[in-house]
Structure 1
Amino acid sequence: MDYTLETTRKKDDLLRAVRSLQVKSENTLQKASPLLSYHQGLGMVNESHIHQLTEKTKDICHDLEDIKNLLCFRQNDLVQQIPNPDAHLYGGVYGIHCSLDGIVYVTSENGPWVHLLNRSGQSFQSLHCVEWNRRKEYFFPEDVTVTRSGLVAVTDMVNGAVRIFNPHSKFSKGKWMKIGKFDSPSGIAVDSMGRILVADYALGKVHLFAIDHAFKVLSVQTLSGLHGPRYISMVPDGGFAVSEECRDVKLFGSNHKMSGSISEKYGHQFGNPAGLCADSEGNLIVADEQQRKVFLFPPSGSPICLVSEGLRRPTGVACSVFGLLLVADAGENCVRVFRYRVKPSSMAENPRLAAENPALSPREMLS
């Protein structure tokens, strides 16, 4: 923490301003409450005064909410840069997902691999994206996620399919299962019920469905009315968000009905929204590929720019359980790791996670 004279002065000024508002409001409430309890207790206060006070109160509350949010987050605090394991062979790093056990899944443009990275950024496993039919056929994953049962799911835009990898399979071949038939599947996510969500780019749709133990698609639901949906992310309230190419980020409630958009709710204008994710506190984080920035949209308050420099082409973003933000930068062909919170949420030791993921040592998981 910075204890320089200038920083101390700023803290003092902020504390004094907040304390002054608190004392004034408490004093006013104590004096006004008894008077307002009487039938004739309005005195000379008229409708205009009440309206003015209401509007000023809204502004002050909004400003205080913004100050609280700004106190919680950092900007451009780069802590690590992880090179793409396929940097010498394929295009830039593209899709990214961070599971609850801290493992990072990364895909590359035109690369037939899904790489698994531990918290230190080292690749400890690579899933070869190949389908064994009569002959060996490669496919190129667009985006990646992990189901509640630990299955790795990717979108295959070229072949119009979703591919599922079962890490528990005992066989060396045929681990990738091809399910569904889509026009141009792009982003992929898993909702709170364990269903898979797929953004269908060309058709402007989002498909929701479940899969059984035999990888059979069940209970398909399709939502339409989107324009070039690219990435999709769940939010803690049970809804989800979808980024539209060169347009906006649409918001859906837990009932799967569109509830609005980022531009409507926050008055924010994107260049080209790409990857998005939500942290445990309900903050939605979006990478703007055109503006080369990453923005955070809190449940209440104004947007915050988390990353404003150093990015060339941010495509995907993911939040880790360790309070870090991972940004897939296709332009630099790397994953940039940022500390975006002033006080990151701590992750309690979980013996089950350590047992299920030997690639992560206890020190790596808890440091």
Structure 2
Amino acid sequence: MAHSLGTTWQQKEKFLRAMHALQVTSDHTLQVASPLLEHPGGLGLLTGSHLNHLVQQSQGLCAELDHVGHLLRFQQDQLLRQIPTPGGVRGLHCSMDGTLYLTFDEAPCIKILDLSGHSLHSLPCTLPGTGAFMSEDVTVTGSGLVLVSSLVHKAVYAFQHHSKASQGEWVKILTFESPRGLGVDALGRFLVADYVSGLVHSFSLSSSFKAIGLTTVPGFCGPRYVSNGPDGGFVVSEECGDVQLFGHAHQPLGSLGSRLEDPFGNPAGICTDAQDNIIVVDEQRKEVTLFPRVGSPVRLVSKGLQRPTGVACASHGRLLVADNGDNYVKIFKYLT
């Protein structure tokens, strides 16, 4: 044990010395170089080739230091607790206050829990004159409005509360061919992944639950889950495919798979944390990967998962993963 502690301290000291040496050297060079902008003199013995080499080396070093910074901040495989579920989880959402919303394979309701696993409430998924329906995914706005998607009824529903807090009913918002994943972007627009059609729909809701400003983005191959992305955009996972990134005006920004050494197996649940890091569950590879805005991807969970499908972020650096292999929602600590 003493040897282990000594080794850890030696590694920390070595790292801090390296960072200090970089800082001292760069500060000294910057002091020498700064007056060049104020005086018409040349660059001394610094040639164009030296300058080009310096630029390339500095870009690589900056990228490496960004990656080091990520490795210092993030943790891997730090399981905090497991919440048992009554069956396979289809939809997973965690609100800012730590309230957990779950939909299931064989239960026509939404279970509402706290992060300790205590049941808070249950919303039955029933329609007047029609009966129960199975909900595919769930999302919740900051004001507490609950939306679900239903593959069987080919629709998206919102839960409208009545005057009594315990009462309410589901209101049909829109009909789609095969709605699966749901999300809300930073601008408050709802997002729907339309699986068979290969589309993602975006719209807002009026106070009377009428959809307004419906926009459709085509060209997907089996869109599965959709989530808000950085800068008001959104991200979409494609079954056995890639994860596509879009901007606030729905313009394509490329794929996350291009940043991996190996392609995704079967990307499933996706979410974006408060620092605009995108987190992706790979159901086939049984792992969770974080994609920072700058730098290389970071593996957050690499063991202990059997069939992960959903993911959500919670406060205090916690990550929730729905594992349908053993019917648990697993809570990890991923930020130091």
Q: Quickly name the TM-score band, shorter chain normalised.
A: over 0.9
Match of 1:227 in 2: 221
Q: Which runs of 5+ in 1 are unaligned?
A: 343-367
- Return 165-174 or 264-273, whichever deviates more: 165-174
Amino acid at match of 1:298: P
Which of residues 226, 229, 249 in structure 1 aligns to 2:243?
249
Amino acid at match of 1:233: S
Which of residues 276, 280, 286 in structure 2 aligns to 1:282?
276
Secondary structure of the 2:53 match is helix
Match of 1:53 in 2: 54
- Return 39-48 or 153-162, whichever deviates more: 39-48
Which of residues 151, 170, 188 in structure 1 aligns to 2:145?
151
Deviations 1:11-62 (A, max 9, x none): 1111011111111111122233446755452233222211111111111111
Match of 2:133 in 1: 139
- Normalising by structure 2, we get a TM-score of 0.94
> Does structure 1 residue 322 correspond to structure 2 residue 316?
yes
- Return 28-37 or 291-300, whichever deviates more: 28-37
Given that residues 94 and 329 in structure 1 are in contact (C-alpha distance below 8 angstroms), is that contact kept between their aligned partners in structure 2? no
> Does structure 1 residue 103 correspond to structure 2 residue 103?
no
Q: Which runs of 5+ in 2 are unaligned?
A: none
- Seen in structure 2, the aligned counterparts of structure 1 residues 216 and 38 have a Cα distance that, compared at 3 Å, is closer
Given that residues 186 and 201 in structure 1 are in contact (C-alpha distance below 8 angstroms), is that contact kept between their aligned partners in structure 2? yes
Amino acid at match of 1:202: V
Amino acid at match of 1:47: G
- Seen in structure 2, the aligned counterparts of structure 1 residues 19 and 114 have a Cα distance that, compared at 3 Å, is same
- Seen in structure 2, the aligned counterparts of structure 1 residues 268 and 262 have a Cα distance that, compared at 3 Å, is farther
Match of 1:7 in 2: 8
Shift of 1:6: 1.6
- Return 151-160 or 211-220, whichever deviates more: 211-220
Measured in 1, the distance between the counterparts of 2:117 and 2:290 equals 24
- Seen in structure 2, the aligned counterparts of structure 1 residues 168 and 51 have a Cα distance that, compared at 3 Å, is farther
Measured in 1, the distance between the counterparts of 2:332 and 2:34 equals 48
Amino acid at match of 2:322: A
Shift of 1:129: 1.1
Shift of 1:323: 2.2
Amino acid at match of 2:226: I
Amino acid at match of 1:297: F
- Seen in structure 2, the aligned counterparts of structure 1 residues 178 and 63 have a Cα distance that, compared at 3 Å, is same
- Return 184-193 or 24-33, whichever deviates more: 24-33
Shift of 1:174: 6.3
Measured in 2, the distance between the counterparts of 1:14 and 1:171 equals 56
Measured in 2, the distance between the counterparts of 1:208 and 1:157 equals 18
Measured in 1, the distance between the counterparts of 2:36 and 2:218 equals 55
Q: Give the CA RMSD over aligned residues.
A: 2.0
Secondary structure of the 2:220 match is coil
Secondary structure of the 1:175 match is strand
Which of residues 297, 304, 309 in structure 1 aligns to 2:291?
297
Shift of 1:98: 0.4
Shift of 1:236: 4.4
User: What count of residue pairs does the alignment treat as equivalent?
Assistant: 334
Match of 2:126 in 1: 130
Match of 1:339 in 2: 333
Deviations 1:76-122 (A, max 9, x none): 000000000x24xxxx1221000122100011123212100112111
Secondary structure of the 1:179 match is strand
Measured in 2, the distance between the counterparts of 1:203 and 1:31 equals 61
> Does structure 1 residue 164 correspond to structure 2 residue 165?
no
> Does structure 1 residue 187 correspond to structure 2 residue 188?
no
- Normalising by structure 1, we get a TM-score of 0.86
Amino acid at match of 1:271: G
Given that residues 289 and 315 in structure 1 are in contact (C-alpha distance below 8 angstroms), is that contact kept between their aligned partners in structure 2? yes
Q: Note the 1:205-216 alignment, pairs <5 A.
A: 205-216=199-210
- Return 23-32 or 199-208, whichever deviates more: 23-32
Measured in 2, the distance between the counterparts of 1:17 and 1:168 equals 62
Shift of 1:141: 1.1
